[in-house]
Amino acid sequence: MYEIQSQDGFTYKSTSISEIWDKLFEAVQIARRAHGLTALPEGQLKEMAGVQMLGLKTNAIRYLLEQLPGVEKCTQYSPLYHKKQAGLGGPGVGVGGGNGMGMNGGFASHGSSEYADYFEDLQENPHGTARCEPYSSRSEYDMFSWLASRHRKQPMPIVAQNIDDTIIPRRGSGSNLPMAMRYRTLKESSKESVGVYRSHIHGRGLFCNRDIEAGEMVIEYAGELIRSTLTDKRERYYDSRGIGCYMFKIDENFVVDATMRGNAARFINHSCEPNCYSKVVDILGHKHIIIFALRRIVQGEELTYDYKFPFEDVKIPCSCGSKKCRKYLN
Ligand SMILES: C[S@@+](CC[C@H](N)C(=O)[O-])C[C@H]1O[C@@H](n2cnc3c(N)ncnc32)[C@H](O)[C@@H]1O
């Protein structure tokens, strides 16, 4: 569906681009008459609107446009620069000389079926053009939005493991070691054992790159330790700047603010049936929020814990997808 809108808000929609052009020409003629100008002959008007107005008489622009995928479909146009060379399968080539951008020129036919197939496979933008796409709420301040890219390769989930006679030393959870000792190696080990990728639950999520044993320390929820009294002010500030706010309450007095100085743990999503849990641990007199594995977690699984948000009237729908889902986060 194509759509044009006049300055006074009138919109005209059609699935036919030629109908849209006709409407556009009609509107230009009306506007010219309204300004005491004579109506232009249709040919000249089309030439103006479709060619000059769009800068298509500028050779540099034509040179670029002729390379666009899909140019093949402009059957009325004869390319000037990127002509097809017989037998070539790539885009942007054409046989026959170009004779300008006139509406009545002919786009010479292309012999290669490979070439045609290439364009057959081209996906049309569901919104018509990229410029008509709805605004997606990607914040300019969210410098980690690329982590949710579908092009980032996630660790392959291991479905079944070969069990043979080879004795493979299994990594223990280390749960018999003192917390301080386990904590000492956590920062380094978590860099390797977890990664942030696009999540089916919400935005980005944390996934494990290797199997994790039940009871293992997975990652610390790192950030800036701030007093609880500061949280409202900071939240307002982050909101006003469109910055996603990541905070974790330690107790009545302290909160870890991971918004500006956090690590990957801030991307852990909630699940009503989680595979991890969070615990505030005292290590050498300092409180730390540590995420532990609740059960054995296999490579590729998304790590989740129960946010245990307090009940509120304004609900946050839950998309954890578990059988035991409580439907809301709060
Ligand atoms: C700490 S962030 C988690 C990371 C987040 N997915 C991201 O990409 O920034 C917490 C926010 O993620 C969303 N979220 C986490 N778990 C969710 C779930 N199970 N269902 C719906 N939204 C969830 C909520 O908006 C929540 O306030």
What residue ranges do the domains of the chain occupy?
2-73, 145-157+174-222+263-305
Q: Is 124 exposed, middle or buried (0-12, 13-18, 19+ CB in 10 A)?
A: exposed
Q: Comparing 127-131, 257-261, 288-292, 306-310, which segment has the lowest mean pLDDT?
A: 127-131
Q: What is the distance in A from the centroid of ligand 1 to the CA of 202?
A: 5
CA angle 212, 283, 213 (to 5 degrees): 10
> What atom in ligand 1 is closest to the CA of residue 203?
8
8-state DSSP, 309: P
Given the candidates 2.170.270.10, 2.60.40.2140, 3.30.70.1060, 2.60.40.420, the CATH classification of the domain at 145-157+174-222+263-305 is: 2.170.270.10
172 compared with 70, residue with greater pLDDT: 70
> Residue 104 has what pLDDT?
29
Q: What is the distance in A from the centroid of ligand 1 to the CA of 62?
A: 46
Report which protein residue has its CA nearest ligand 1's atom 2: 267
Supply 167's token pair. Answer: 């004795």
pLDDT of 153 over the 80 cut: no
> Residue 290 has what pLDDT?
95
Q: Would the CA dihedral through 85, 87, 92, 94 be positive or negative?
A: positive
Cβ–Cβ < 8 Å for 192, 185: no
pTM: 0.58
Cβ–Cβ < 8 Å for 254, 287: yes
- List pocket residues of ligand 1, CB cut-off 6 Å: 199, 201-205, 244, 246, 266-267, 269-271, 318-320, 329
pLDDT of 287 over the 60 cut: yes
C-alpha to C-alpha distance for 270 and 274, rounded to whole angstroms: 7
Q: What is the distance in A from the centroid of ligand 1 to the CA of 269?
A: 5
Where does the pLDDT of residue 268 fall: very low under 50, low under 70, confident under 90, or very high at 90 and above? Answer: very high
pLDDT digits (tens, 9 = 90+) for 130-141: 666 665 555 556
Q: What is the distance in A from the centroid of ligand 1 to the CA of 315?
A: 13
Q: How far is CA 197 from the centre of its chain?
A: 11
C-alpha to C-alpha distance for 188 and 289, rounded to whole angstroms: 16
> What atom in ligand 1 is closest to the CA of residue 244?
9
8-state DSSP, 130: G
Mutate to test the pocket of ligand 1, among 269, 291, 327 (most ligand atoms within 8 A of CB): 269
Largest CA distance in the chain: 93
